[in-house]
Chains A and B, each alone.
Chain A
Amino acid sequence: MDRRPSKTPGFWESTVGKKTVMAVSGLVMLLYLVVHMLGNLKIFFGTDEFNGYAHWLRTVGEPFMHYEWTLWLVRIVLVLAVVAHAVSAYQLSRRDINARPTKYVHKRKRASYATRTMRWGGIILGLFIVWHLLDLTTLTVNEHAVHGEAYQNVVATFSTWYGNVIYIVAMVALGFHVRHGFWSAAQTLGVGSAARDRALKTAANGLALLLTVGFVSVPVAVMTGVVS
């Protein structure tokens, strides 16, 4: 078809391309988080069911897949998504800050609300992912720390004040991130339009609320003794 003029940059060099990478990797993580949140709710059905579920996660796909292969596949996709998302977010944010080197003397608060909550929220989520892996995957910082006893490990985490604070702050940040992020991703991928705007915003708010409430229900249940 068309011949490309040589000066046009490639996909990754373009701000729109990087934003597309950010949107797709964000949606991959979002899909994972919805499934993850629903899985977490199994904790309300008791120790055996939850620990059985945790064991099943390692045997999914057998006998075609070997023990833990599916789990590792998911982990690899997630690591790629986190890295792609964080790198594009970092590079775009730097570019954006450099594009406005002189600030206005007359300040307005509203202007950068969404951008700021996305950047700070993203940093909080990045730190949380590290903590969360050390706490419940590697069990490095967990108080119970017995492999195969996921239920007891979770109860141990949410029996400490800092475990609850870190988790709840991160899940509120997640809600805000998804609220702007889901709608943004629709615009970035070109499915946003004036006619669909309301539906997309409602979906974004619903998804954000569902994730935050679903995830936070677990520490609340431990704190109130519903799960122990």
Chain B
Amino acid sequence: MKLTLRVWRQRNADADGAMSTYEVDGISSDMSFLEMLDTLNEELILRGEDPVAFDHDCREGICGACSLVINGDAHGPERTTTCQLHMRSFRDGDTIDIEPWRAAAFPVVKDLVVDRSAFDRIIQAGGYVSAPTGSAPEAHATPVPKPDADYAFEHAECIGCGACVAACPNGSAMLFTSAKVNHLNVLPQGAPERETRVLDMVGQMDAEGFGGCTLTGECATACPKGIPLPSIAAMNKEWLRANRKVSRG
């Protein structure tokens, strides 16, 4: 396959960026999208040019490091991560636009790499359970009803990639935050912090400058892990409940 790529190039956080056009040839339809970019980078290095910076790690769809808005879609046209997207989703002669996640809370570091540490700070605000460390607890000590376990697993699938923020017209992190809150709030292990968790994580989410939710549903459409839109309603319910329960002061 022969492709025309229009890639966002930006030297560093403070520099102005722009789309640059590149031609790549000899792309196999079995290549992943990232392998296609590796091919481009090898050529750029041979020509003595700066390779395109992009995030990646596991390349197995489990770590959440890869990103890229491809032709306007976060993680491209298939419901999967960019690393698991294959070039058979494109046709010979296509022009492909590649841009970084766009959100005030995710500043560009270089080219296609953005700083997602705002997500880490949301997790630090309450995305944990307080448990005694040391020896593993007896597995049967805390029974979890099957539907609750399924619900927790469904939300634990979130890999923190940020596609939801990238796809949302408001740059909102509600889907991510709801996945993390719902995952822990449904479990007995998460019960001691049930109220503070949702209040603090939503508080941190707002403090990071993410937008609010207008329920357009773009996040859930983009999410490679299928975190569903009703998760946001479930988190709102937890937030309202916590507001009633917790004394302020």
Contact = CB atoms under 8 A, between A and B. Distances in A.
Interface of A: 1-2, 4-5, 7-11, 13-20, 92, 95-108, 111-115, 118, 180, 183-184, 186-194, 197
Contacts of A111: 167, 169, 216, 218
Interface in B165-224: 167-172, 195-196, 199-200, 202-203, 205-207, 209-218
A96 B171 contact: yes
Contact of B97 (A4, A8, A106, A194): A106
Interface in B62-87: 69, 71-73
B246 interface: yes
Interface of B: 6, 8, 19, 69, 71-73, 97, 99, 102-105, 167-172, 195-196, 199-200, 202-203, 205-207, 209-218, 228-230, 232-234, 236-241, 243, 245-249
A108 to B, nearest CB: 4
A44 to B, nearest CB: 37
Contacts of B97: 105-106
B156 to A, nearest CB: 17
Contacts of A103: 102
Given A99-B104, A189-B240, A2 B214 contact: no
A99 B205 CA distance: 12
A14 B234 contact: no
B196 A98 contact: no
B166 to A, nearest CB: 9
Contacts of B245: 1-2
Given A1-B246, A99-B104, A192-B233, A16 B99 contact: no
5 contacts: A1-B247, A100-B102, A104-B72, A104-B102, A190-B236
B236 A16 contact: yes
A193 B212 contact: no
A68 B45 CA distance: 81
A188 B72 contact: no
B216 A115 contact: yes
Contact of B169 (A92, A106, A112): A112
A163 B169 CA distance: 36
A2 B195 contact: yes
A92 B212 contact: yes
B99 A106 contact: yes
B187 to A, nearest CB: 18
Given A2-B195, A118-B214, A100 B19 contact: no
B195 A184 contact: no
A106 B100 CA distance: 11
A187 B8 CA distance: 36
Nearest to A11: B243
Contacts of A188: 215, 233, 236
A4 B249 contact: yes
A197 B48 CA distance: 55
**Which 4 pairs show the lowest CB-CB distances between chains A and B?**
A190-B237, A99-B211, A96-B170, A192-B233
Q: Which of B102, B169, B218, B240 has the most CB of A within 10 A?
A: B169
Contact of A2 (B196, B230, B237): B196
B74 to A, nearest CB: 10
Contacts of A192: 230, 233
A98 B234 contact: no
A97 B102 CA distance: 12
Contacts of B168: 100
A191 B35 CA distance: 44
B73 A108 contact: yes
A187 B104 contact: no
A105 B19 contact: yes
B19 to A, nearest CB: 6
B18 to A, nearest CB: 9
